Every structure is written in C-alpha cells, then in structure tokens.
Amino acid sequence: MHKSPHSTPAHRRPSRRIALIAAAGVLAGGGASLALAGTGNAAVTPHHRTTAAAPAAATGLADPHKKEIAMELVSSAENSSLDWKAQYKYIEDIGDGRGYTAGIIGFCSGTGDMLELVQHYTDLEPGNVLAKYLPALEQVNGSDSHSGLGTAFVSAWKTAAKDTVFQQAQNDERDDVYFNPSVNQAKSDGLGTLGQFIYYDAIVMHGPGDDSVSFGGIRKTAMKKAKTPAQGGNETTYLNAFLDARKAAMKTEDAHDDTSRVDTEQRPFLQAGNLNLDPPLRWKTYGDSYQILTLP
C-alpha cells in the first residue's frame, strides 16, 4: 500500500541538517556555496551558479538509467511512491522544526535550500509566482516560522510546480547540493553504483555537513572502522561500516527511529552483492514493498 505524501508520518520525511560546513575536503565537486550559521541547522547560502563542463560519459549512478533508479529508491522512502516527478508540487510542514518541506528532495524553508531554490528559479524566470516570497524566506531561514508565507505561499508553490522552469530549478538544486557532491565523493572513495547511491541517500536525509550526524561525519566514522576501496579496502566491508555508522546517526533523532530505509532497502542489495545496483530490485521501506524489474 503506497501512502500519499500528505498522510506520511513525520519520521518518513527527510529530517536533515542542511549545509553545516562547506564541502571542501569532504565532498569533492559540489556546486553549492555552503556556510556555517551558528550551531544546529544552518543555511545554504545563495550562490552564483556557473556552468560546469559535462562529463565525457556518464558512469555509475550518473548514468541516466541508474539515476532514475536512485530517484525512485529515494522517493519510496521520502514520499511512499516511486513516482518522484509527482513530488515537484509537494509541500507541507511535517512538524520537524524545519518549516515547510517541499519538492522532489525535501527542500526546507528553515534550512536555506528552499531559499536558494526560489532564488535560482527567479534567476531563471524573473517575476515568477514565488519571487515575491524571497524576503519572507530570508526572514524565516533558520526557524520553523511561516511568517510571510502561509497558505498563499503553499498555493503559489503548487502553481509554480506546473512550470517546467521551476521543475528544472528543482533538478538543478538537487544535483548541485546533493547528487553531484555525493556521487563524486563516492567515486573518489572507489565505490561503485550501489555505494554511490548509499552516499546519495545519506546526504539527502542527513545533509552535507561535517558534524557527527551529517554525511561528512558519518563517512568519517565509517572510515575509522574500515578502509575505502580507494585506500585498498574491501568495498562490501566498507559499505557495511558506512551503513552501521548511518544507523547510529539516525537513532540520535526521534524522526529517524525507523531505520528500514537502511535495513530492508540498502542492506539487502549489499548482502546480495549487487554493487552495480542492477534490476530486478525488490525492497521494503517503512513496511511497504516496492520493485524495479528492468532498467527505466
């Protein structure tokens, strides 16, 4: 049984510490300019976007077919659905202290990535229906406040989601802040497609920071237990150590007390030796069963 996003309990939605520390030395190749803002959750600082050269050939999770699989896997956990493209319009306050959570990757009004997204959208399409909310998004950044937003903003978000330019803006932010940094780091660590996905799913939930419960900290904890393949270690051994470290981080927050996202999704793929993340894939997330039988 697949549940609609609006009926999804809070622990099934992303609860991330967004952008605590810039990715230098931890996340190779990230496009975002991130800044620490005190303690706890910090803001993603709006940045000037530059056009990067496209890779000669997409490999691993960057291959379009495998990237589609990754998006469906993440969506099964984030939205109880494989239809990730239906989530451009998603928006609600899930009560996790991060204000509104919205879009294909769970951009949050309280953690800065929603602000950055709307700014990017406005750069691409000035005068869009969300542009007038930029001052309010700046004001609520770092809090769970709805001041200056409310039902009018929610309605405007859903209207904007019909615009292909806004959809592209969401895709861009997903790639800049989450997908490209995690995949590039995984490749630097000598990981194959499954390992790249394991990193990506972790950064989506925990954010690209360097504290103990963010992606960078989880990776450091894992590296204390096992060497990465790039360091001469065994890939399966290292990924098990990473998943162990991630579970420990998840259990520090009530919103993450259900770790089936690791236990009945990623770990079975690893136990089966499916390091290339090849279909058929069958898994469970929060008790719901899913399958991808062929390459998209």
User: What's the gap between Cα 25 and its chain centre?
Assistant: 20
With beta carbons less than 8 A apart as the criterion, state whether 94 and 107 touch: no
CA separation for the pair 293, 290 (Å, rounded): 10
**Residue 46 in tokens:** 């709006």
With beta carbons less than 8 A apart as the criterion, state whether 29 and 180 touch: yes
Residues whose CB is less than 8 angstroms from the CB of residue 65 and which lie 6 or more positions away in sequence, other chains included: 295, 296
CA separation for the pair 286, 212 (Å, rounded): 24
CA 169 → CA 158, 161, 264, distances in Å?
Answer: 14, 10, 32
Catalytic residues: 78, 96
CA separation for the pair 165, 176 (Å, rounded): 16
**Residue 295 in tokens:** 């390459």
CA separation for the pair 228, 260 (Å, rounded): 24
- List the alpha helices (DSSP H) in 20-160: 64-79, 113-124, 134-140, 150-160
- List the alpha helices (DSSP H) in 207-234: 215-225
